[in-house]
Structure 1
Amino acid sequence: MSNEFVLHARGLKKSFGAVIAADDLDVKVTAAARLSLIGSNGAGKTTFVNMVTGYMKPDSGEVLLYGRNVVGLSPRKISRLGVCRSFQIPQLCETMTPIDNLIVAGTIASSEKISFFRPVHDRRNVDHALEILARFDLTDYADQPVEQLPGGVRKLIDIAMALVSRPRVLLLDEPTSGVSSEEKFPLMDRVMTALAGEKAAVIFVEHDMDVVTRYADRVIAFYSGGIIADDTPERVLADPKVQEFVTGTAR
């Protein structure tokens, strides 16, 4: 495989009984790409994300990270190789502060062994966590318990946790779900600003087509476990199959 692709998922298949969740998927992703996955619920988007990140093993196929097949590795090992994700429902320790959540995430993602004699709250870890929070404009929330913070802020903290290990590929599962329509653009602006200068490819699952067209340079449309379109946002959203099966705008 050419190294121009940071990620190449090829021949991915996954079934749950008679339900085909992934039908011979082939997706190539270049470094620094901004790729959105669209499709109705059950179309196969999250199944794809789960297979790429190791939370689900495909029935067949490969997930190549710079040419290395990572199928069969645990999510932790895959994240250490540079494939990280956020979740539709933020996975946070709510009794801890944002800075502590980021430090724990960074420690878990690190290949270094945790030692009783080497506290995780050393200056290096704290400074790195603060730097990431600052990029998301979250410094004012650093020492507040997560359980006291608004939903949109929790979303950003979850994404910041995925970024703390400096990923090569960052997958965001519905980053604007549960966020009011007025907050969607400001939230995504913060995310994209925080990622400015990063070489990580960003793949995000999204249902809001305004968000898709504004922040993606490429869109893949899923339907019934397969890919029905893969192109620029304008071309994909103009595709008759996408309008019929995804956006519901077909005439």
Structure 2
Amino acid sequence: MTPPILETKGLSKSFGAVTAAKNLHVQIHKGEIVGVIGANGAGKTTFINMVTGYLPPTAGEIRMNGQDILGLSPRAITRKGLARSFQVAQLFPELSVLDNLLIALAAAESAHPSFLRPLRTRARIARAEEILEEFRVPAYRDARVTAVPQGTRKLIDIAMAMIGEPEMLLLDEPTSGVSVDEKGDLMDTVIAAVRNHGLTVLFVEHDMDVVRRYVSRILAFYSGEILADGPPDAVLANERVRDLVTGHAIHAPSRQGSSVV
């Protein structure tokens, strides 16, 4: 039987007397698009940071494709095929969008990239332009990052996370700071790219309409624990999730032409 692409057992994290995550048992299978919901401080980002190597757990196991990845550095975990983006886009703000992509491409080519060699090669530029087209932002090719909209910055950050051809992508609040009008188009673009590359996705999100529209499964966090885990309709109808996480019932979206999963 094929092991889950990502699995945690008894994963916990304490900061002194404060427990940020407690006994988290999670299995994510290939091809899933999983949404993670919960109030601030519920343990969502702590979970993401532990499985990507940015935060050592106090206890528990982390496996990817059946292999132990506990204790590996973020870069080593990325090279195992588990990539992530951040709530605040991790870009070089004074450089152009193109140059940001070229740096990411150069870094992905080798475990020990040398930036003494020319950055702007014909092959890298051609690949960067393909990425810009896939993420529907070719108009910003030569724009400085500081001059592009927040939604575009998020798309570039996610595109850069995908450059190493990971198996699984973790997104920390991909629509944070993005206007309501931009969110649907941004997520349509991201999900189309994810499906095109056959990626498994787990993303943290506060906007319940976004979660309901795009995911195949929801993990609801509360006070460092998983309150509910299952299909969107079931989790969002769960009485405890309504009381402790969303505060209200979430209804199916009515947006025309959206990519509903």
TM over 0.5, shorter chain: yes
Measure how far apart 1:142 and its partner are: 1.3
Q: Is the 8 A contact 2:3 2:66 kept in 1?
A: no
* Matching residue of 1:40: 39
Letter of the 1:29 counterpart? I
CA deviations 1:94-140 (Å, max 9, x no partner) are: 11111211221233344343246743332332222222221110111
The residue number in structure 1 matching 2:161 is: 162
Structure 2 CA distance, aligned partners of 1:33 and 1:8?
A: 13
Match of 1:150 in 2: 149
Structure 1 residues 1-251: aligned runs within 5 Å? 2-115=1-114, 118-249=117-248
Which region of structure 1 is more displaced relative to structure 2, 117-126 or 144-153? 117-126
The residue type equivalent to 1:101 in the other structure is N
Partner of 2:259: none
Off by >4 Å, runs of 4+ in structure 1: none
Aligned length: 249
191-200 or 31-40, which deviates more? 191-200
Identity %: 51
SS at match of 2:198: coil
Provide structure 1 residue ranges, at least 5 long, that are not aligned to the other structure.
none
Any unmatched runs of 5+ in structure 2? 250-261
Matches of 1:247 and 1:165, distance apart in 2: 35
How does the TM-score come out when normalised to structure 1?
0.94
Counterpart of 1:190 in 2: which secondary structure? helix
TM-aligned CA deviation for residue 181 of structure 1: 1.2
Mapped to 1, the partners of 2:115 and 2:25 lie a distance apart of 44
- After superposition, give the CA deviation of every residue in 1:178-211 in whole Å (9 maximum; x if it has no partner): 1111111111111112222222111110111111
Report if the CA contact (8 A) 1:4-1:31 is conserved.
Answer: no
